């Protein structure tokens, strides 16, 4: 495969994976534009999907919740509605949907109201599943409803239920899949049929089920041998989760730039999903993969506060602890007709960009969108309907409330992991944490990518001058990645520090 830009490959979806020793970056492209972006650093790998044997360390009756020690720095948080009572009458708690592939399938409606003190006790050992990563100052969110996602099915131990994703629209296909799954489902297990199962054979579904049951049985054996707190099962890393959760029939191919990870993926796919093998491609171009496909710029824009619209208007995105606020402005756009028409056109243009930025930045929790005020009710309806339509592409569960008289749309979006901004940046030391700058580690990986690019073009000696916090990290914790580049390309890298440089600024000299 050559290094030709991915911008010319048509409108099909593609998955790009940039895998290095330090981090994994995954971009989901639609029509050549990155619409979802994920990053996972080996030092800060996601906990979502992990299963622990934990211990109840504190019960909070006033909040109907408990703190669970699962062996992390901060205790995990367990809410009363996330505790499964081990009696048969509480089993039918599921809706017939996949809830946007988020693996949160449980609806507590109709469950008897029991207090947390009646369900668990302090000091009790309990099996829990991480549903949300630690975010900000909060510990991980856990549930005792265990759900184990495979590619085609989600296994739910101790639940007699079969559900199917609402994203599978064809009624004949829904009936066919449900009949197969009900026939192969063992007693004592519940199953959700995932979107990726559309068109699957009974053999493929059976294989996926057997794999999940094997994992669950291993967890059960391990649980009886260890004391709390203990990790019983760790979910797949980002590369393999991308295959499991993103590589659908609509995706034309998955392109990865690491030969080592490529071989692992091929082996994994050959064993479990042989029909997908032709979709896996190794990128062998000289230019870095995200540069070749023209998406580094999109990722950089996802860290900016202001996003310009083609008309000359712009949106401003402010993410704070409690919520995200998005403001729409006409900017340089003056329009050709009346004021109301200019405002409507700006708002409708902003709708598409806001839906795109929410998905790209992985914004979650409460989101308030302040559109430019429109006098006509029909115009407010047009903007609201356009926004609802634009958000249908989002895989994350979201709830959108009707536009208010003030021109505000209030919405919530499921937050499982930190947003891109929170992962790639840290509170700014220059402005008393009122803003953000790229973290030293993000800058280190940026520098490593740039010197790799220079090394491929024949540089023999590279001198890096950076802020002390960045230079120190490169020389110490990230030295392994630097040495790997030196050994691979036979170059010498010299690191110098300068207190006169802003943390985000650095200089690279190639000899």
**Interval 484-500: pLDDT, tens:** 999 999 999 999 999 99
Tokens 């979201």 belong to 398
Provide the CB-side half-sphere exposure for 432 (13 A, CA). 0
For the CA atoms of 378, 383, 385, 387, the dihedral, rounded to the nearest 10 degrees, stands at -170
The DSSP element (H or E) to which 495 belongs, if any, is strand 492-497
The tokens for 142 are 């856990």
pLDDT score recorded for residue 299: 86
Domain spanning 6-45+239-297, CATH class: alpha beta
The strand pair at 461-466 and 23-30 is best described as: unpaired
Instruction: Give the residue from 230, 388, 361 showing the smallest Cα distance to 300.
Output: 361
Domain spanning 440-510, CATH class: alpha beta
CATH topology of domain 51-234: OB fold (Dihydrolipoamide Acetyltransferase, E2P) (2.40.50)
Other CB atoms within 10 A of residue 479 CB: 12
Q: How far apart are CA 328 and CA 345, in angstroms?
A: 12
Confidence label for 340 from pLDDT (cuts 50, 70 and 90): confident
Q: How far apart are CA 501 and CA 400, in angstroms?
A: 44
The tokens for 235 are 């979910």
DSSP letter at 402?
P
- Work out the mean pLDDT of the chain and round it to a whole number: 86
CB-based burial, 62-88: b 16+ in 10 Å, e otherwise: eebbbbbbbebeebbbbebebbbeeee
pLDDT tens digit string along 51-60? 999 999 999 9
The tokens for 475 are 């020389």
Q: Per-residue pLDDT averaged across 21-37, rounded?
A: 90
Q: Per-residue pLDDT averaged across 183-191, rounded?
A: 92
Q: Per-residue pLDDT averaged across 431-454, rounded?
A: 86
Confidence label for 272 from pLDDT (cuts 50, 70 and 90): confident
Which residues are bridge partners to 510 per DSSP?
Answer: 462
pLDDT tens digit string along 376-435? 889 999 999 999 999 988 888 899 999 988 889 999 998 877 888 888 888 777 776 667
pLDDT tens digit string along 148-182? 999 899 999 988 889 998 888 889 999 999 999 99
Provide the CB-side half-sphere exposure for 78 (13 A, CA). 33
pLDDT score recorded for residue 334: 64
User: Which residues have a Cβ under 8 Å from the Cβ of 102 and sit 6 or more positions away?
Assistant: 395, 396, 397, 414, 416
Instruction: Please say if the pLDDT value at position 467 is more than 70.
Output: yes
342 vs 463 pLDDT, higher one: 463
Which residues are bridge partners to 282 per DSSP?
Answer: 256
374 vs 428 pLDDT, higher one: 374
Q: How far apart are CA 352 and CA 104, in angstroms?
A: 27
Instruction: Give the residue from 208, 76, 210 showing the smallest Cα distance to 130.
Output: 76
User: Which residues have a Cβ under 8 Å from the Cβ of 176 and sit 6 or more positions away?
Assistant: none
Q: How far apart are CA 135 and CA 416, in angstroms?
A: 9
Tokens 């609201």 belong to 384
pLDDT score recorded for residue 335: 59
Identify whether the C-beta of residue 194 lies closer than 8 Å to the C-beta of residue 98: yes
């Amino acid at each position: 495969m050559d290094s030709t830009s991915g911008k010319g490959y048509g409108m099909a979806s593609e998955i790009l994976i940039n895998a290095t020793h330090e981090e994994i970056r995954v971009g989901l492209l639609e029509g050549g534009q990155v619409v979802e972006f994920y990053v996972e650093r080996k030092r800060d790998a996601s906990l979502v999907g992990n299963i622990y044997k934990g211990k109840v360390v504190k019960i909070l009756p006033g909040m109907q919740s408990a703190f669970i020690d699962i062996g992390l720095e901060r205790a995990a948080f367990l809410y009363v509605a996330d505790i499964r009572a081990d009696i048969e009458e509480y089993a039918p708690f599921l809706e017939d949907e996949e809830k946007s592939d988020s693996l949160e399938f449980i609806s507590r409606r109709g469950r008897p109201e029991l207090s947390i003190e009646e369900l668990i006790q302090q000091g009790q050992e309990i099996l829990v599943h991480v549903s949300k990563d630690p975010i900000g100052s909060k510990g991980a969110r856990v549930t005792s409803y265990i759900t184990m996602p495979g590619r085609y099915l989600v296994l739910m131990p101790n639940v007699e239920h079969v559900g199917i994703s609402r994203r599978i629209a064809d009624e004949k296909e829904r009936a066919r899949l449900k009949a197969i799954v009900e026939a192969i489902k063992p007693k004592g297990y519940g199953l959700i049929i995932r979107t990726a199962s559309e068109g699957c054979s009974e053999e493929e579904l059976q294989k996926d089920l057997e794999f999940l049951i094997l994992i669950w049985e291993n967890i059960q054996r391990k649980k009886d041998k260890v004391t709390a707190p203990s990790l019983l099962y760790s979910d797949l890393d980002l590369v393999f989760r991308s295959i499991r959760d993103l590589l659908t029939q609509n995706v034309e191919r998955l392109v990865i730039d690491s030969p080592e990870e490529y071989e692992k993926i091929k082996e994994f796919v050959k064993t479990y999903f042989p029909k997908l093998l032709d979709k896996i491609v190794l990128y062998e171009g000289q230019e870095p993969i995200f540069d070749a496909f023209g998406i580094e710029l999109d990722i950089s824009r996802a860290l900016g506060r202001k996003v310009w619209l083609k008309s000359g208007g712009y949106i401003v995105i402010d993410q704070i602890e409690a919520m995200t606020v998005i403001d729409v402005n006409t900017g340089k756009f003056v329009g050709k007709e009346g004021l109301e028409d200019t405002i409507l056109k700006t708002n409708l243009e902003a709708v598409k960009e806001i839906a795109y930025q929410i998905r790209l930045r992985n914004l979650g929790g409460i989101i308030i969108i302040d559109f430019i005020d429109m006098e006509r009710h029909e115009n407010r309806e047009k903007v609201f309907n356009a926004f609802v339509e634009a958000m249908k592409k989002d895989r994350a569960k979201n709830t959108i409330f009707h536009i208010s008289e003030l021109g505000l749309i209030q919405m919530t979006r499921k937050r499982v992991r930190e947003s891109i901004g929170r992962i790639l940046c840290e509170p700014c030391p220059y402005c008393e944490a009122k803003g953000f700058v790229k973290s030293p580690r993000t800058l280190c990986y940026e520098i490593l990518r740039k010197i790799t690019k220079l090394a491929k073009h024949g540089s023999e000696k590279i001198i890096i001058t950076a802020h002390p916090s960045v230079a120190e990290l490169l020389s110490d914790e990230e030295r392994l990645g630097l040495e790997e580049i030196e050994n691979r390309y036979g170059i010498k890298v010299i690191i110098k520090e300068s207190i006169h440089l802003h943390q985000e600024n650095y200089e690279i000299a190639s000899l």
